[in-house]
Amino acid sequence: MEYRGYDSWGVAFGKDLSLVKKAGRISEAGKVEESPAYAGLGHTRWATHGGVTEANAHPHTDCTGRVVVAHNGIVENWEELKNELEKKGHEFKSETDTEVIAHLVESEMGETGELDELIEVVRRVFNQLKGLNAILVYFPQMRSIVAFRNGSPMVLGVGEEEHFIASDIPAFLPYTNKVVFINDMEGVVLHEGTAKLIDAVNSKQLPLKVQEVEWSAEEAELGEHPHYLIKEIMEQPQVLARLAEYPEKDIKEVAKLIKESFGTYFTACGTAAHSGMAATYMFADLAKRHVNFAVGSEFYFLEDFLTPESLLIAASQSGETMDTLEAVRAAKRHKSKVVALVNAQGSSLTRIADKTLLLNCGPEKAVLATKSYTAKLAVFLLLASQLNGGLKDGRKLVAKAAKGAKELLEGDAVGEIKGLAGNLKGAEHLYVIGRGVNYPTALEAALKIKEVSYIHAEGFAGGELKHGVIALIEEGTPCMVFVANDRTKESVLSNAKEIKSRGGFIIGVSPDINEVFDVWIEVPDVGEASPIVNAIPAQLLAYYLAVERGLDPDKPRNLAKSVTVK
């Protein structure tokens, strides 16, 4: 689970409670202790409340060590609850909001320690917490775990005489692919080899609906690759080839919703947002249709224009990004329709949406989104083509992109980009330009480079240079330029010349060589699918820059794979 947060970690297990917590990465920990236990709890943290210290790492305990808690989310009323608990004499060992949960359970627990009573206590405590939280409360002496969720993800893995509760499926894929997706305001109780699902509002027992997921443990492993990032970059040709065959029924259904809507809006965050932005160009170009776009974290400030006739298309790899989910909740408040474009089956977004299109990319574990990005672009191409009456053409485009991606990843470009990364590793700034549908490509390329190599990189629309940006160009400043064989070609080349005449070092990404390029990265010409193949050299450059600079490409500082807080 380290990809979801890696500043500190902790494990708790055994009847006599072994509790080990450390700041740093669990992958660097080695074996901590070995002893048989029937139940246990582990956590990797991405700090929200309280610094990155051993004391603040989860799990947290009550005053007695009878209650052990791990938590995902933010307890919004934690200070108020903490004050009351301190007045009652509870002593806190950390600065986290999470520890409040352990002491609250302790303060409500009676003397009997019966399981039914403990379940009720945890349920009551959970209902006192404000915010979007998933909590796991482990009672070591009872060998039981009681968990509840609202807004933060939780899945139950059903193995052979064993159960797993986690925030994401890859946590237990080596043991089982049988999953129960827990809904908001539901809880799970694990005791003596059994799992029970209950309603958080009225304690009623609910049926366990076990589903099998298609992801395999191997897909979630590194295999022959040194890092997940390069593994996932290399998987793109296969993913795209699969998407070229996307079921017609699903594409048609969503295209119909777009056609019938009075206003279609795309929303997403980060890399996923760049795919949504690219969609606005694809829909204009291929479908002659106006669609709107706003990033998830800004969407609520625009929600007032939504109506029951509006359609919101939310794109997310994880399906758990809080800002994207909040945008979707806003749309739901206005009774608008919601379509989700998601990789993680069963994720929160898929459960809120009226219709889901799954990306089927397999697990994406590197913090940087790569294959999920090009997969989203592929699905948007299919949708835009369908709206133009030509799904067949869309399929051809995606198949062409799959072939192009394969050629690119199997050809000389990989070695050349590696060499280029060696030359650029000392750069302080790097600028990227593109126009039209490759303007979002420029933004995405810059994001990939900065988040993993920590080199300052900015993407711009080529035409904007003369409005101020060009002041940044100095002798030798590296600039990546995306030149597709489309109507933007001449204008973006002339922007490249403007940069070059001010001393910029031009890295051209294009099917054709041009005299303005100092370095040419050749990409196959895949027509309107150019943003798909253009993203790949940027991903590779970001990866090799991180490697050259001695950084961990899979776990950039301060980031986590799923951003489940606002």
- Least distance to ligand F6R, CB of residue 493, Å: 28
- Least distance to ligand F6R, CB of residue 426, Å: 23
- Least distance to ligand F6R, CB of residue 560, Å: 9
How many Cα atoms within 13 Å fall on the side-chain side of residue 507? 24
Eight-state DSSP code of residue 480: E
* Helices 371-387, 530-548: crossing angle, 10 deg rounding: 170
Exposure letters 193-206 (e unless 16+ CB within 10 A, then b): eebebbebeeeeee
Q: Which is nearer to ligand F6R, 70 or 272 (CB)?
A: 272
Helix (H, G, I), strand (E, B) or coil at 50: coil
- Separation between Cα atoms, residue 225 and residue 234, nearest integer Å: 10
- Least distance to ligand F6R, CB of residue 451, Å: 6
Q: Which is nearer to ligand F6R, 270 or 524 (CB)?
A: 270
- Least distance to ligand F6R, CB of residue 334, Å: 21
Contact between 311 and 335 (Cβ < 8 Å): no
Single-letter residue type at 144: S
- Least distance to ligand F6R, CB of residue 425, Å: 20
For 39, 54, 552, the CA distances from 22, given in Å and listed in that order, are 20, 5, 20
Residue given tokens 């690219």 in the structure block: 278
- Separation between Cα atoms, residue 25 and residue 151, nearest integer Å: 26
Q: Which is nearer to ligand F6R, 372 or 477 (CB)?
A: 372
- Least distance to ligand F6R, CB of residue 174, Å: 23
- Least distance to ligand F6R, CB of residue 323, Å: 8
Residue 66: both structure tokens together: 């009878």
Angle at 167 between CA 230 and CA 203, to 5 degrees: 165
- With the CA atoms of 292, 295, 300 and 304 taken in that order, what torsion angle do they form, in degrees rounded to the nearest 10? -10
Total residue count of the chain as it appears in this document: 566
Q: Which is nearer to ligand F6R, 129 or 278 (CB)?
A: 278
Long-range contacts of 354-357 (CB under 8 A, 24+ apart): 355/253, 355/254, 355/257, 357/246, 357/250, 357/251, 357/254
Residue 374: both structure tokens together: 């090009």
Q: Which is nearer to ligand F6R, 369 or 484 (CB)?
A: 369
Q: Which is nearer to ligand F6R, 90 or 448 (CB)?
A: 448
Single-letter residue type at 86: E
Q: Which is nearer to ligand F6R, 519 or 559 (CB)?
A: 559
- Least distance to ligand F6R, CB of residue 431, Å: 19
What are the E-state strand segments in 325-402? 337-342, 355-358
Q: Which is nearer to ligand F6R, 271 or 438 (CB)?
A: 271
Q: Which is nearer to ligand F6R, 404 or 553 (CB)?
A: 553
Q: Which is nearer to ligand F6R, 94 or 564 (CB)?
A: 564
- Separation between Cα atoms, residue 46 and residue 49, nearest integer Å: 10
Q: Which is nearer to ligand F6R, 272 or 313 (CB)?
A: 272
Contact between 559 and 367 (Cβ < 8 Å): yes
User: Phi then psi for 25, rounded to 5 degrees?
Assistant: -95, 140
- Separation between Cα atoms, residue 431 and residue 433, nearest integer Å: 7
Residue nearest to ligand F6R (CB): 270
- Least distance to ligand F6R, CB of residue 329, Å: 15
How many other β-carbons are positioned within 10 Å of the β-carbon of residue 49? 16
* Interface residues toward ligand F6R, by CB under 6 A: 269-272, 316-318, 321, 324, 368-369, 447, 451, 562-563
- Least distance to ligand F6R, CB of residue 269, Å: 4
